[in-house]
Structure 1
């Protein structure tokens, strides 16, 4: 899927990618929504357009626990961990479900350059156990895809992708490559024959050079810029 997205040159192609990815993962919906520092917005999503129009007309972003929760968070969040206790939030959820949204959701908040903020959300109709298995197996993929989507949308909209401020060292590349392939930190340290504390130094150094907001973002940027190959 990364290769498909890398070939996209228009926002329409990003929309098509989102629709195809929804089908690949057999989800109800997949959404990418970005807001830049001046309030400009872009969204690639699979929601019914009537629901999108209703959402915008009612200004539901003000009460949507997913939007409000992700704006305060840096880590991926399961929707059930958000606060749905307010009457307005419960009413909003009921209306969303009636409009075709599933009972399960998972969102990845992203902080981009110059104050840009984005969210990637996936949504499904299934049991808690089925959803827990899905997110447990796919969380790492969703994190990387979310950052790929954001980097590509920024590139197409005319915001240059942020390249590394300095070249990555061979050890930093090895570290990011192993992270991208799904290895955990203990296994990476063992493979590279270094301590986990030394590994943390390589990761933080790579993040700084890439201008990445977190480790997953660093891996995504390294892949996007062709600095590592998995």
Structure 2
């Protein structure tokens, strides 16, 4: 199975939790963490790659009853208990790719919602398994919480880089060493779960931190 990662700066806690979620979902999982401004901070998928391609090509996310359920409420429920309309029979089609039984988990405020789906092909998830999956998703939601703010020094460093300055020139403008500038940028990237400084700049703008 393929694992899709977006806008992510990983750490060992998150890695371990993702492994745990993978073990809890024999047929794969979908995880969108901290959906803000119509996009998640991080997104992971380990469903059947053919289903992922089919789902993406047909823009099923716009019609998926699981997504609608996750956006409209919080908690956990089996897929079979979701009574929302599915006029495009997405769930019926998903079953042909091995996604027969599943659980949907939704948590967090509407402004930073996390939605997850875990699947298996052989039977319904038990109440105990649903509780364990919910705990893992809640832990992931907590561990990936975006920062409420950046320090003035981190904001200053990001702004310098966003203006087009190179490290040496930017450090000179701030009156600090190049290594100090890079250290501030490194801290900002970690807070924003960004792989690059350019990604950190965009993420800070998206979250109105810059």
Q: TM-score range by the shorter chain?
A: 0.5 to 0.7
2:98 corresponds, among 72, 97, 100, to 100
Larger Rg: 2
Specify which of 123, 128, 131 is matched with residue 137 of structure 1.
Answer: 128
1:33-66 per-position Cα deviation (integer Å, ceiling 9, x unaligned) = 1353222223112113332232222111122111
Aligned length, in residue pairs: 141
Q: Greater share of helix residues, 1 or 2?
A: 1
1: distance between equivalents of 2:35 and 2:53? 21
Match of 1:70 in 2: 70
4+ runs deviating over 6 angstroms: none
The corresponding residue for 2:60 is 60
Distance verdict in 2 for CA 1:38–1:145, change over 3 Å: same
CA change 1:161–1:27 in 2 (3 A) is: farther
Superposed counterparts of 1:78-227, under 5 Å: 78-83=78-83, 86-88=86-88, 90=89, 92-101=90-99, 103-112=100-109, 115-127=111-123, 131=124, 134-154=125-145, 159-160=146-147
SS at the partner of 1:99?
coil
Query: Offset at 1:68?
Result: 0.8
Structure 1 portions without partners, runs of 5+:
1-8, 163-230
- Write the deviation string for residues 184-228 of structure 1: whole angstroms up to 9, x where unpaired: xxxxxxxxxxxxxxxxxxxxxxxxxxxxxxxxxxxxxxxxxxxxx
Q: Distance in 1 between matches of 2:66 and 2:15?
A: 21
> Closer, same or farther in 2 for the Cα pair 1:11/1:47, shift >3 Å?
farther
Q: Normalising by structure 2, what TM-score?
A: 0.56
Higher relative contact order (CA closer than 8 Å, sequence separation 6+): 2
Residues 80-135 of structure 1: CA deviation (Å, up to 9, x unaligned): 111265431x2x2232122332x1111110124x70111122111124xxx2xx42
Q: What SS does structure 1 have at the residue aligned with 2:32?
A: strand
Q: TM (normalized to structure 1)?
A: 0.51
Which deviates more, 65-74 or 27-36?
27-36
Is the 2:55–2:61 contact (alpha carbons within 8 Å) kept by the matching residues of 1? Answer: yes
SS of alignment partner, residue 27 of structure 1: coil
Instruction: Name the Cα RMSD after superposition.
Output: 3.1
Aligned 8 A contact 1:70 1:107 in 2: yes
1:109–1:119 CA contact under 8 A, matched in 2: yes
Unmatched segments (≥5 aa) in structure 2:
1-8, 150-210
